[in-house]
Amino acid sequence: MSRTAIFTMLAVITLGAVGLASCGDDDDGGDDSTTTVSALEEGAPDDPNTDDAGAAVENACPADGCILSIKSATATDSGEIEVEFDGNFAPDFSANHIHIYWDTYSADEVSADAADRNVTQGAWVATDSFPSYVTEADVSVDGRGDSTTLCVTAGDGDHNVLDADKFSCIDVSGAL
């Protein structure tokens, strides 16, 4: 066998081993595709960053997608609004996280790829603050215009909305 053939064979074996190692089980005995805990499921832990045993879960969307909802909205002493979330994934700013926005925009507009969605980009705040968040910056009460409705949807590490059909809104007029 020639040296080139041996080198090629070793390269293929090495690349295959690296690929398998990066896709393999992390030795926790579980299926990596199902390690995310749904905080919306009956009996799920209160902290979506841990499973029932208290172990950290990876930041990924379950099969039904990353789903967020706003449970409540209350006024703060500073005049802003504190919102409480539910979600079926563990928000992480560098990965899947929360886009919060006023309903003057759609979920497609609060995405870094808004132009690819054929809409003009709107204003939102990306956060991994969970399970609560106090409005600020582009979702500050002062910048809401006439809107009285806050919305949330899931975004990825590039600030693209994951699924514009999965969003939640709440009327916050009682907290203004």
DSSP string of 57-116, one letter each residue: --S---TT---EEEEEEEE-TTS-EEEEEEESS---TTSSEEEEEETTS-TTTSSTTTGG
- Domains of the chain by start residue, with CATH: 60-175 (2.60.40)
pLDDT given for residue 107 in this prediction: 97
Query: What is the amino acid identity at position 117?
Result: R
45-86 residue pLDDT tens: 455 555 566 655 566 788 889 999 999 999 999 999 999 999
pLDDT recorded at residue 63: 87
Distance (Å, whole) CA 76 – CA 166: 27
> Residue 114 has what pLDDT?
96
77, β-bridge pairs: none
pLDDT of residue 47: 52
Tell me the sheet residues that pair with 153.
99, 167
- Written as tens digits, the pLDDT of the chain (176 aa) is 444 444 344 443 443 443 333 334 444 444 433 222 223 333 344 555 555 666 555 667 888 899 999 999 999 999 999 999 999 999 998 899 999 999 999 999 999 999 999 999 999 999 999 999 999 999 999 999 999 999 999 999 999 999 999 999 999 999 99
